[in-house]
Amino acid sequence: MKWIIRLSCLCVLTLMLAGCNQQEQKKATTQGDATEQPIEIKVSGKQVEPNVVLAVVQLKNPNEQAVTLTFPTSQRFELKVKDADQKVLYTFSQEQVFTQAIEQERFKGLETKRYEVRIELPDSSHPTQVEAMTIRQVKGDASSNRKAQSEILN
């Protein structure tokens, strides 16, 4: 009689372990899918006046399927303008005010969203490079920031 009880307990434990393993595999697959849906970022800069740079930031969903991004604030990207010595002349977030609320934005398949920023710099500055970085999470992935940079055209 004791061996029947032991055998039953062993079967129940085996079934429980098998079920837990399947849930872990599903969870790992779902998390893998989320990080394979990055948003591509592009940036370009043009000096439109002696002390004014026009920066264009584009966020693109390169996938056929839609993706929903979670932003920790209302800020969608960070933008920096640098000179030839890599000294930062301008930082977008230092001159803006963003709401401190988690926001979600949906990108349709292959959709591109475009943002223009007009940057006024001191007369003595000589900007040469613009750099942009995404501020977003893909389905909770906190390490999904991406960067782009470009030379400033005259």
This prediction's pTM:
0.71
- The secondary structure of residue 4, as a DSSP letter, is H
User: Distance of CA 7 to CAs 11, 14, 17, 19, 33, Å?
Assistant: 6, 11, 15, 19, 40
- Residues 63-114 have pLDDT tens digits of 999 998 888 899 999 999 999 999 999 999 998 999 999 999 999 999 999 9
CATH number of 37-153: 2.60.40.2360
- Domain ranges in the chain are 1-36, 37-153
